[in-house]
Amino acid sequence: PLVATLLGVLLLGERLGAPAITGAVLLLGGLVLVSVPARWGRADEPSRE
């Protein structure tokens, strides 16, 4: 959805509203949270399972 939105804006001149911008920010923020390793807590220890 994010790539399609960006292509629509860049190629077709569509305008983004507040809900679309908010959704893009939330999506990118979630991707950053998932891809950046945890720096606090005990994330460096191996699992005991």
Quick one: DSSP state of residue 41? S
Cα torsion 33, 36, 38, 44 to 10°: value is 150
Residue ranges making up the domain that contains 17 = 2-27
Inside any domain, residue 43: no
In a domain, 7, yes or no: yes
Token pair listed for 12: 């077709």
In the chain, the number of structural domains is 1
Residue 36: φ, ψ to 5°: -85, 130
Q: What's the pLDDT at 43? A: 56
**40 in a structural domain:** no
Residue 42 lies in a domain: no
**CA dihedral (29, 31, 35, 38) positive or negative:** positive
Judge whether 16 lies within some domain. yes
- pTM of the predicted structure, to 2 decimals: 0.62
Mean pLDDT of the chain, nearest integer? 85
> Does residue 35 lie in a domain region?
no
